Structures are given as C-alpha cells and as structure tokens.
C-alpha cells in the first residue's frame, strides 16, 4: 500500500490541516518500461506554497486530488525492463509526498550514494545548490572583492550563495531573522556581517 498526501483544497493564506488529504492506496502493476521507487526522503521547500495556487507560473499547479509535488530521493525496488534504471539504483525525482512512486523515468536521474548521503542530493547537490551555484556564478558573475548582500541568508539557497561568494573572495553580508540565525551566519558559515531584520533598521 502507498501512503500519499494529496492536495485537497487551495489554501487562502497559511495552509492548514484541511489543505491536504492523507490516503493509503494500492500500488498499481508496472507497465513496460516503468520502475517502482520507494522514497527515503522528500524535500519540503518554500516553492511548494506557490505550487498549490491555481495561477500561471514556471510549472503547472498541483491539481486538486493530486499527490503534493515535492522533490524526492529513493531506491528502485522493482523494474519492468526500464532501459536506464535497475533495482537498487538511487534515484532523484519529482515523485511527491508519497512512500512509493511509479515512473517511466522522465525527470528522474540516478545518483551515487557512495559519494554523498541521500539527503545531500535534495539540498546542496540538488535544486537549492544548483540555484545558488548558477545564480551567484553565472547570473551575478561575482568576482574577488565584490560586496555581496544575501537576503534569506540562513535559508537553503542563501546560505550556499554566501559560502560560494566567500570562496570567490567577496565580502558577504547576510540578512536573516533573529540572533540565532545571524550568529549561525557569522560563526558557522563565515559571513563577514549579518543584519537581523527583526531588530535592526
């Protein structure tokens, strides 16, 4: 049986318990060329809030009654002659908030869990890491001695942006909410300065 979290209604304001519906459903038989993946981890990202809304965006919204979209990583436990994935392969996908996923492999890719633990492929080696990497190096094109101001600096993307900028020889100032987060930026991530937007002008 597959445990799934489905979008039950479009939230207004903060999503609540009634936004989703939990279901347990049978796992269908695999069609030719499909694989069954058991998710080990899912990624809970701020983007999920936007995916619930019925408006034009970079991806279509999650439909009412569909499994809530999320990045996921897990292992192939069954394959029906898939050309690229076999049992035991570690796969990153957009499989959603559910225990099992059946897929033809579209928008999936295999990773080597001997190089990094599974959760890293949803974070620093996944979408947040790629966003930070290409954003700061390809879009912003920072260079040594630049001054870089990072909003949301204690978050998944912002924390990586700041560290990459430091590696490039930049002065990095982070904006975060609360003393604890600002201390984290300064003492653990090596930011040069931190602005607590909750207590400073």
What pTM value is reported for the model?
0.84
7 and 99 inside one domain: yes
Q: Residue 85: is it exposed, middle or buried by C-beta count within 10 angstroms (0-12/13-18/19+)?
A: buried
pLDDT for position 97: 98
Last residue of a domain, one of 122, 142, 173: 122
Q: Are residues 36 and 8 in the same domain?
A: yes
Instruction: Please give the full DSSP string across 107-173, using - where no structure is assigned.
Output: T-EEE-TTTS-GGGGGTTTSHHHHHHHHIIIIIS---TT-EEEETTTTSHHHHHHHHHHHHTT-EEE
Q: Is the pLDDT of residue 78 over 90?
A: yes
Whether 106 and 175 share a structural domain: no
Looking at the fold, whether 149 and 110 belong to one and the same domain comes out as no
Q: Which helix (H) or strand (E) holds 53?
A: none
Query: 3-state class of 67 per DSSP?
Result: strand
Q: Give pLDDT tens digits for 157-178.
A: 999 999 999 999 999 999 999 9
* One domain for residues 94 and 159: no
CB atoms within 10 A of CB 62: 21
Note down the domain range covering 146: 128-196
74 and 166 belong to one structural domain = no
pLDDT at 166: 98
């Amino acid at each position: 049986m597959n445990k799934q979290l489905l979008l039950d209604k479009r939230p207004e304001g903060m999503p609540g318990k009634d936004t989703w519906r939990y279901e347990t459903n049978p796992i269908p038989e695999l069609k030719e060329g499909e694989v069954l993946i058991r998710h080990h981890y899912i990624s809970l990202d701020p983007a999920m809030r936007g995916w619930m809304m019925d408006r034009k965006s970079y991806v279509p919204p999650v439909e009412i009654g569909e499994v809530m979209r999320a990045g996921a990583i897990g292992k192939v436990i069954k394959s029906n002659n898939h050309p690229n994935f076999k049992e035991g392969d570690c796969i990153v996908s957009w499989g959603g908030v559910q225990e099992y996923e059946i897929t033809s492999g579209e928008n999936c890719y295999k990773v080597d869990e001997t190089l990094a633990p599974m959760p890293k492929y949803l974070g620093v080696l996944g979408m947040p890491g790629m966003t930070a990497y290409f954003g700061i190096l390809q879009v912003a094109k920072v260079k040594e001695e630049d001054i870089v101001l990072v909003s949301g600096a204690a978050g998944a993307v912002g924390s990586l942006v700041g560290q990459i900028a430091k590696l490039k020889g930049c002065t990095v100032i982070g904006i975060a909410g609360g003393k604890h987060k600002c201390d984290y930026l300064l003492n653990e991530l090596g930011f040069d300065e931190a602005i607590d937007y909750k207590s400073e002008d």
